[in-house]
Amino acid sequence: MSAPLRIGFIPLVDAAALIVAVDKGFTAAEGLDVTLIREVSWSNVRDKLNIGLFDAAHLLAPVAIASSLGIGHVKVPISAPFNLGVNGNAITVTPALHADLMAHLDGDRFDPMATALALARVVAKRRKKGAEPLTFGMTFPFSTHNYQLRFWMAAGGVDPDEDVRLVVLPPPYMVDSIKSGHVDGFCVGAPWNSIAVDLGIGYILHFVSDILVRAVEKVLALRQSWAEKNPDTVAALIRACSRAADFIEHNHAEAAHILSQPERIGVGADVVQRTLDGRLKIAPDGVLREHARYLLVGREGAGRPDPVQAAWLYAQMVRWGQTPLSPDALKTAMAVFRPDIYDHALGAPAAAEAAPIGAFAGPPFAADDVPGHLKAFKIGRWTA
């Protein structure tokens, strides 16, 4: 056995590969002694990873980039050699906002452009009446949830900084926040959207796979300095997580049971299995919606890091005024995602180019033309 490893995670279904790797003994089979530590907030996970209280972490992909660039906090270079999840988020709204959006909808309710335009009409109506701005919860300023909400809203002409209010909430607190009337909607990962629907206090408006075909969500994050000193341990951890991801894809029921345990995610196994099946109840009356790409854990090459995804996330940081555009910073951001370490650990040849990000609005994203991407959008905080 190697030295004991402490790895932090947030109770979300996209921590599945990490949890199953430990609880099914895949890490032990690789000679690793891993203790998983459940946390509530992403700032806790980031800070404990940065100062060495955690050796590795289940982490928001943009946080790994922001930490490496020193944006919003101390600068600690991070390596992300394994994707724990691709896609998996959803936008949930209160029954009242859902009814308002549907009343103003012109088109398919699963078309994000149609709902974004409906949101713009609702926002305009509320402003005319002198009503308070709508409030949406997201999990962190440097989060896919923040960027996905903003991308969707802005496509319909809603300025997320001027027309609505975005607030940061830890994932486990989203449901209580919508229940108490503090927010009108939120973007979060599973299972918290489903919990809101099951309680009758939320409607799932969109899966993130409606907004972006392929969006890296969480990564296995390591301090770069630690990863460079412990390459064999890193490789063993990647192999264990990859084996777990494959197990999950073929054993949804057993994986859901493991994840449902109180010290892991702590919700019903049926809710977790619905997530893994990509078959979610989207309304309190029981309406189901299936989407094969709702959450990818392992399949379709989901585990392999893609630097183009890092470039897209960096571009959103620039678009929304979190950092200026810099070719060097873009290069640093892309270098956080380490397909080379992944390929070496698994003894695999370099994979073909990953599927495109596939955003529902704007031109196809090209990592070598971030300015072109930014110029395609009218709403943002970026200036050339």
Q: What is the pLDDT of residues 289-327, one digit of tens each?
A: 999 999 999 889 999 999 999 999 999 999 999 999 999
Between CA 56 and CA 14 the distance in angstroms is 15
Give the CATH number of the domain where residue 194 resides. Answer: 3.40.190.10
Question: Would residue 284 count as lying in a domain?
Answer: no
Report the C-alpha gap between 312 and 144 in whole angstroms.
10
The answer to whether residue 128 is domain-embedded is: yes
Tens of pLDDT along 136-194? Answer: 999 999 999 999 999 999 999 999 999 999 999 988 899 999 999 999 999 999 889 99
- Same domain assignment for residues 226 and 361: yes
pLDDT value of position 352: 66
Nearest one of 300, 70, 316 to 211, comparing CA atoms:
316
Residue 374 lies in a domain: no
297 and 16 Cβ atoms separated by less than 8 Å: yes
Token pair recorded at residue 115? 């709902």
Domain co-membership, 77 together with 93: no
Give the C-alpha separation, 59 to 212, whole Å.
20
Together in a domain, 104 and 248: no
- Asked if residue 246 and residue 329 are part of one domain, the reply reads yes
Q: Which residue type sits at 332?
A: T
Contact 333, 65 (CB under 8 A): yes
- On the question of pLDDT at 241 being above 70, the answer is yes
289 bridge partner residues = 280
The pTM is what? 0.95
Average pLDDT over residues 3-26: 96
Whether 193 and 228 map to the same domain: the answer is no
CB distance 379 to 159 below 8 Å = yes
Query: Confidence class of residue 1 from pLDDT cuts 50, 70 and 90?
Result: low
- What are the structure tokens assigned to 67, written together? 């930490």
Cβ neighbours for 328, distance < 8 A, ≥ 6 positions apart = none
Let me know whether 98 and 80 are in one domain: no
**pLDDT of residue 67 exceeding 70:** yes
Measured distance CA(230)–CA(215) in Å, rounded: 29
Q: Are residues 332 and 245 in the same domain?
A: yes
Look up tokens 């997320």; give the residue: 160
